[in-house]
Amino acid sequence: MRILLPTFFLMACEASLKAPVVTEDPFEDTPNDSEPDSDGDGVSDSDETEDGTDPNNEDSDGDGLNDGDEIDNGTDPNDTDSDDDGIEDNDEVNNGTDPNNPDSDDDGINDNNEVVDGTDPNNPDSDGDGLNDGDENTVGSDPNNPDSDGDTINDGDEVNNGTDPTNPDSDGDGIDDNDEINDGTDPLNPDSDGDGLDDGDENTIGSDPLDPDSDNDSVNDGDETTDGTDPLNPDTDGDGLDEGEEVTYETDPLNPDSDGDGVNDGDEINNGTNPNSPDMDGDGFDADTDCDDGNVDINPNAIEECDGVDNDCDGFIDDAQVCPCETDTYSGHLYYFCDEASDWHDARTSCQSFGNFDLAVIDNNAENYWIFQTAQSVSSNKWWWFGYNDINAASWQEPASGWSWVNGSNSGYNNWNGGQPDNYWGSEDCAHMYGNSGYWNDLDCNIDNWYGSVVYYVCEEL
């Protein structure tokens, strides 16, 4: 049996088969005046049923936005907080934030946290300091204060400069970062000039934190402070030497007279004397150059005298040009070998004229031998007076008794030649030494030669 369908139905089916297939957004608001919208939210009941919203409640999720507006805004009409940032969609719309983006300003902090913290969720840099709010949280600065540490440098600049936006004194030297920048010191280095003093300490004492040697004395400020010298005064002790020179000469920069000799260090350097060696006799020469620093008359500028002393400190006692006699020393005593003919009395007077001298006193054989050898080197084979006599002996003591030394010595030493003394002609009261043997003979004190053999004399320092 064949069923005949009405013509209008067949035409409708044909149109339906020819129409294109359209995929719809489940939340797309497609109002159709022919479809009911029970809650008047701009979404048909059928679409709401399909979307899972409540066709009888214009605001299915109760977030203050009707379902149609949520669909238009792209928010979820079934979720009060579409972006899960802790703020309902309606509040986000009212506040101007993006209900579909938990971090509307892309600063790394979600919108609700910004609201709680008091920052602007629509401004990545709430305080306008050049750091976004998320970075401020990371470094610990205040996103609501462009200068978190109150050093008058905004936080962004501090981060760019490498200073700490949460510490007004990044290098801990006692000076705020801004003051360091203004002064030209390094806010990241507590000792900008590397002199051993923090910049703050330099400000306190008045030295230059940009100059390691504020007073230009070749000693840096830190060392001066440690040593107790004044980093603002190149010559702390006022002796005419700056601290660098005092280091060079090893003098005391805190004592103008390092060696305590009454002459300040600068004058000693100018005079050529040693400021570390005292001039105890005040003759202008210290102990290094003065061979007798206890005698003002003996120094390198003194005039050499024939007195058994090295008056001019040249290392020679009684230089030949000042003494009429040859000089030599034995056992710490100075001897003059005078090669001029003289009787015994004149010889003694001459010796005594040299100061603390007299005719030689011979105490032992070693001294006798030394005198003999030295006399030979001065003038060979001559006879030599020395300080032995019996001028005051009684006649009954002649010839061998009653002999004595000019200095009163009780030395019993003698070196008489065989058969001597003999007091020949009854007038031989003074002893002399033969230059060719070193033995002694008695001779008349008042003659200066014996048949052509002249008699010289030997003086000894007492």
Burial class (CB in 10 A: 0-12, 13-18, 19+), 90: buried
What domains lie within the chain, and their CATH numbers?
A: 25-95 (no CATH), 169-231 (no CATH), 235-302 (no CATH), 326-461 (3.10.100.10)
In this prediction, residue 154 carries a pLDDT of 94
Picking from 330, 334, 328, the residue whose alpha carbon sits closest to that of residue 377 is 328
Predicted confidence at residue 320, as pLDDT, reads 63
Residue 278: the pLDDT is: 87
Query: Which parts of the chain register pLDDT below 50?
Result: 1-30
Rg (CA), the chain: 61
Distance between alpha carbon 362 and the CA centroid of its chain, in Å? 64
- What are the pLDDT digits (tens) for 186-207? 999 999 999 999 999 999 999 9
Alpha carbons within 13 angstroms on the beta-carbon side of residue 174 total 10
Residue-level pLDDT at 306 = 75
Helices (H) and strands (E) in the chain, counts: 14, 9
The confidence score (pLDDT) of residue 33 equals: 57
Indicate if the alpha-carbon torsion angle 49, 53, 59, 60 is positive or negative.
Answer: positive
Q: Which two tokens stand for residue 60?
A: 């299915």
For 290-354, give the DSSP string: -S-TT-TT-STTSPP-SSSS-TT-SS-SS-TTT-SSEEEEETTEEEEEE-S---HHHHHHHHHHT
Bridge-based pairing of strands 453-461 and 383-389 is: parallel
CB 353 within 8 A of CB 308: no
pLDDT of residue 15: 39
Ordered alpha helix ranges (H), 65-142: 67-73, 89-95, 111-117, 133-139
pLDDT of residue 8: 34
Among 399, 406, 413, 400, CA closest to 457: 406
What phi and psi, each to the nearest 5 degrees, are found at residue 432? -135, 165
The pLDDT score that the predictor gives to residue 193 is: 96
Which stretches does DSSP call E strand in 150-269?
A: none
Tokens of 308: 């058994």
User: How far is 221 from 203, CA to CA, in rounded Å?
Assistant: 12
Conformation bin of residue 332: beta by default, left when phi > 0, alpha when psi is -120 to 50: left
pLDDT on residue 304:
86
